[in-house]
Amino acid sequence: MYASDPAAVVPAAHSRSPNRGSEPRDDDPIIAAIGGTPLVPLHRLVRARGGGFELYAKAEFLNPSGSVKDRAAWGIVRAALADGRLGSGRTLLDASSGNTAVSYALLGARLGFPVELIVPRTAHPDRVARIRSFGAAVSFSDPAEGTDGAQREARRRADAEPDRYFFADQYHNPANPDAHFRTTGPEIWRATEGRITHFVAGVGTGGTISGTARYLRTVRPSIQVIGVEPSGPMHGLEGLKHLPTALRPSTYDADLVDETRRVETEEALVLQERLAREEGLRVGASAGAAVAVALAVGSERTGSVVVTLLPDAGHPASEDGAP
């Protein structure tokens, strides 16, 4: 599933592979802009916590569609175009809480394939509008079932019309974590000059934390990996899963996660606002949750170098509609 030699890892936007389907278009300037996001020091938040550690956040909201999901979506699409599963008029179909759907829609518009997404009725209206602006079709699933319900509906449609759809299946597609093994992990390692001691990331599909952690563990097995989840099944942290009560994605490798910490929505929203006001970073609530945990981890371990992710630009807390 993953490359075996870390030194041979090449960012997806610049690598080549045999093409038996449509041209993957590695040289497209928008696709080439996926990844390579900066690592931002959160000095003010660290000082307010008492100092004694370093905290850096990867600014994934600077990806072309505005989220970390561009990495996984392009990894999935690129692999499917290369082996012919996508192309020749076949429609990309998947379930999403919002960000991956936007990424797929952007790629479909850019590369010329149709896209159909299933999202929970609770998906933020701004994300739904962005998906549709790229020409993708959107259907809604039962809001009470969250992304689990969207996954079930997407699979039902794919099974019913296998010749019509390429079912991207981000929750079970190995190209999802592989994208982070090939890009996110190496970028963090290089940006910290190998000094990273802890990696903190939210858990949705599990692809980001698993693929990144697998690379980091390859180059230094002692790096600690901490997963961030909502405190319960009913929450306002769009994109994150409370795994004990959700369908478990196979893209999540629990063996790579040393510890899981759960965050209340209210605490995440407080950090979301502080990131804007104290660090000048307008991010989503899931980023607030990740930073809340990263601050706690760093303050418990003097001298640590903690890295987390800011998955998306999100919406201001006053517009989130989150409880």
Q: Are residues 197 and 137 in the same domain?
A: no
pTM over 0.75? The answer is yes
Boundary residue ending a domain (167, 200, 229): 167
Instruction: Say if 18 falls within a structural domain.
Output: no
Instruction: Say if 73 falls within a structural domain.
Output: yes
Domain of residue 278, residue span:
25-67+174-319
Instruction: Say if 130 falls within a structural domain.
Output: yes
Boundary residue ending a domain (135, 150, 167): 167
Q: Are residues 47 and 130 in the same domain?
A: no
Instruction: Say if 251 falls within a structural domain.
Output: yes
Instruction: Say if 4 falls within a structural domain.
Output: no
Q: Are residues 264 and 222 in the same domain?
A: yes
Express each pLDDT in 65-117 by its tens digit.
999 999 999 999 999 999 999 988 999 999 998 899 999 999 999 999 999 99
Distance CA 194, CA 176 (A): 24
Residues 6+ apart with CB under 8 A from 9: 3, 181, 182, 185, 186, 215
Q: Are residues 86 and 228 in the same domain?
A: no
Q: How confident is the model at residue 165 (pLDDT cuts 50, 70, 90)?
A: very high
Boundary residue ending a domain (167, 199, 229): 167
Q: Are residues 126 and 250 in the same domain?
A: no
Q: Are residues 160 and 292 in the same domain?
A: no
CATH of the domain at 266: 3.40.50.1100
Q: Are residues 47 and 195 in the same domain?
A: yes
Instruction: Say if 280 falls within a structural domain.
Output: yes
Distance CA 309, CA 243 (A): 19
Q: Which of 173, 189, 157 is nearest to 80 (CA)?
A: 173
Q: Are residues 195 and 310 in the same domain?
A: yes
Q: How confident is the model at residue 30 (pLDDT cuts 50, 70, 90)?
A: very high
From start to end of 245-304, where are the E strands? Answer: 259-263
Kindly tell me if the per-residue pLDDT of 16 is higher than 80: no
Q: How confident is the model at residue 271 (pLDDT cuts 50, 70, 90)?
A: very high
For all residues of the chain together, what is the average pLDDT?
89
Q: Are residues 230 and 278 in the same domain?
A: yes
Q: Are residues 105 and 134 in the same domain?
A: yes
Q: Are residues 193 and 287 in the same domain?
A: yes
Express each pLDDT in 218-228 by its tens digit.
999 999 999 99
Instruction: Say if 301 falls within a structural domain.
Output: yes
User: Structurally, how many domains does the chain consist of?
Assistant: 2
Q: What is the CA radius of gyration of the chain?
A: 18
**Contact 97/11 with Cβ under 8 angstroms?**
no
Q: Are residues 30 and 125 in the same domain?
A: no
